[in-house]
Structure 1
């Protein structure tokens, strides 16, 4: 969820990120044995270029039967491959940022069944990367952002042959949730990556999250959605976002990601948000 004016407010460090969105993760992984396995390759370009990203996943015998594969006794490693148009001209949301890579890798690692038949909503989608991965994993996905980024998201949906699983919608944080007949007002899964960067938008993002996740109640038996929130700490002002967030949500670090130490060294956190009771 970004525009050109927002990009001008980013620090010099973030401008370098725009030229090569994965440079921080590559630097963090320099001392590991399998750098390419942690950080998908991406050409450093931000002007109307196409990149291809691959994320390891695991398919079960049931997954392979459903997808006309030969079943195997044990899980078999596969890849989720995403073709991605990146273009900074509509705003810095038009490029792939590190936290989106981390969240995409995490949900892919959970397996081809992790999103199957679940309603998934991504906030601040930008290029749509995380939502596209969720679509490849079988989710019924909506990717959302501001109007200038809708075109690049639509192109990426078509490029990945996901028109039947992934839909695009405009959603400005802090505004009413769209009243499309099939828009998920209370989805099963909410995904958000690299959404903490522009201080005036902090209360708006919290407002939208709170509207999407109902307050737990003894009289309401509906299951709470899973909210996965990945962000890169860039400035002290980020603390103000979490001060606002804690009024509505608590959170825990995602503990079952083997890449946790790698991205933590680069100030990237992957959190699971839990709605507070009143």
Structure 2
């Protein structure tokens, strides 16, 4: 009897180990897939960084030399001195910061109204507003330009700021986040005498850091990397953004890839900084934005 019970125990232990081994192997495959995909996404950036320190003749050498034998720091010096790159940087920073601030304010107020303020046809109006996300930018491009031209805002940073200050995606993001905030909390604030703006300012915004961080990252990256908007509305060189200023290294007969890569590396630094500063809140915001429909 003892031998039979011992054999049963051994078999049960083996059966318990098999699922654990399967789980470990499946987890290993998942991590392998994620790491491989991440490397495929990072390789272009590594090549860009490596190329920015190379001589022009070494960039397209085969096989690729990921670490240059000689680092040409002069590429970055030439990027910042040949053209007014610092001016392009300041212009882009000005447009981006103002646009992000306005975007957060308008989106959070509209999201609060659609989520917590009851008014006639609220849900239908929200649906119509969100439906504008399906309209391609190419359809709105000419009407928007005609409107800005009538307002006298062509060749002016204000045109880009006004067009970027309103974002249906931001409204959707905030509305979904605000739906997760209990209505009882707002009712208690109303009983204490707070009006709707006071509730929004003193209760809603302090609780909305994840949603704010998420929208800041999306809005910052979109505005900072925007090329088509500045190309349409800006004509003076002293108003150019980084994306337009980089064109100076691309001529009709030649492309200076070393300088181009140096300018590109300089351009992505702010987006990386913003993402790392807000990544914790960003993950929370994405996770909580779809709690309620």
Same fold (TM over 0.5): no
Which has the greater radius of gyration? 2
Q: TM-score, normalised by structure 2?
A: 0.21
Q: TM-score, normalised by structure 1?
A: 0.21
Greater relative CO (CA pairs within 8 A, separation 6+): 2
| Higher helix fraction (1 or 2) | 2
| Higher strand fraction (1 or 2) | 1
